[in-house]
Chain A
Amino acid sequence: MADPLHQFQIQKIVELPTVEVAGIPIDLSITNSVMAMIIGTGAVILFFLFATARTAIIPGRMQVMAEGLFGLIDDLAESIIGDEGRHFFPFIFTLFLFILSLNLVGMTTYFTATSQLAVTAALAVLTIGAVIVVGFARNGLGFFKLFVPSGVPWWILPLIVVIEIVSFLMRPITLSLRLFGNMVGGHIVMKVFAGFVVALAGLGIGGVVGAVLPLLSVVALTALEFLVAYLQAFVFAVLTCVYLNDVVNLGHH
């Protein structure tokens, strides 16, 4: 059976020189992971270019789809963050589309970039970085009130503050691991079941009959994985909204 983990192996497509920044070697080669990002992002940009080429009051099919995605994230941002959500909409929408397109590229054609811990961790750090930047820009040093919830008895505060700080530090980790784990797990399971089909079918007539069950499972899993691909992108967007809301509406709750 083929190694189910081999699908996550980074491979270079276009060899580019390695530069060293602050003692860290950065291999700028276009790998399959980078290629997946280019394909996904390129598809998103192409789609929106076509969808918004001729925007009309009475929309065409592509425009309806684009507006559907737009409305989904816009409503999300507005319902969680409030009126201020509009300022952060491009960032949240970019995150959502980026992750969704990478997930779908992995589901349909090519390499799953979101199954790379480097990618999910970078996205999570980017998100938390944006939260921290927004937090300081909006509240200055009041940002630290995030760790001191109001209405808590003073003698509990030391414990609460420690818990709040730890939970804040855990955010990028949970963000990255959730997406990473979902994509890796799903793809491994699909690969394993698909391997069963091939292995059993190779055994002869009885094997072919036995292969029907894993085949059906693969079909069902594929449907599930499409759902997960969408859901994880949505969850990432929702959590980004929640984290941004914490710092945007600091002290309002």
Chain B
Amino acid sequence: MSAANDTLAMSPAAEPSDTAPVTTVATLDPVATAPADAHADTHESTEHAGGEAHAKGLPQFQTEHWAGQIVWLVIIFTILYIAIAKMFAPKLRGVISTRGSTISEDLANARAIRDEAEAQAKMSAEETAAAHAAARKLASDAKTKAAAESAKVQAEEDAKLNALIEDAETSIRASRDKAMAYVEDIATETASALVEKLTGKAATKTALKAALSKA
């Protein structure tokens, strides 16, 4: 495997020197002015020595491959750079920032809606409280009104009844006074009758009165 690859590796380097006298490592050789066969020999031996040196050292130090790699690297790197700087990075940054703004917008919307809902909840609570208060007031008003009315009615009734009672009392008092007056008369009569019976002679009216008032 190693041998086959070696020939593969060497053949491209060896080919140009056969076909075209381009600048390869071989033609840069200081012994380029030497006779043709000798040159070929040195070329062969340097190639060989080179190959062996490659086998021992790191192939990365074969500086003849450097320039081409660096030129290609700059070209390819530039292409990638342009693709990223002009297309991919702006697109990704755009979509990420759009997402960020969308999310913050949605959050703001949600927050606004929540605030609104809270405000509405507060408002409806206030309305309920107000309705409660109104109902309570209405109830107490009705109660006081009813109480006042009933008190008024009662007062009227009381007054009426009191008047009746008063009337009755006055008529009773009148009857009693009358009766009392009769009682005095009766007492006087009784006393005069008693005195007449006991003494046989009628007592004077003044004496009777005095006795009665003493009693």
Question: Residues of A at under 8 Å CB distance from B?
Answer: 2-3, 5-6, 8-12, 15, 17-18, 20, 24-31, 33-34, 37-38, 41, 44-45, 48, 52, 55-57, 59, 63, 66-67, 70-71, 74, 89-91, 93-94, 97-98, 113, 115-119, 122-123, 126, 180, 184
Contacts and interface: CB of A to CB of B under 8 A. Distances in A.
Contacts of B88: 48, 52, 66
Interface of B is mostly: helix
B79 A8 contact: no
Nearest to A1: B2
A94 B84 contact: yes
Given A45-B83, A70-B96, A122 B70 contact: yes
B55 A3 contact: yes
A55 B77 contact: no
Contacts of B67: 24-27
Contacts of A25: 23-24, 28, 64, 67
Contacts of A12: 12
Contacts, number: 156
Instruction: Provide the main secondary structure of the chain A interface.
Output: helix
Which of B15, B72, B74, B95 counts the most chain A CB atoms within 10 A?
Answer: B72
Contact of A94 (B23, B54, B64, B81): B81
Nearest to A122: B70
A97 B69 contact: no
Residue of B22, B65, B99 contacting most chain A CB atoms (<10 Å): B65
A34 B68 contact: yes
The CB with the most chain A CB atoms within 10 A, among B5, B70, B79, B80, is that of B80
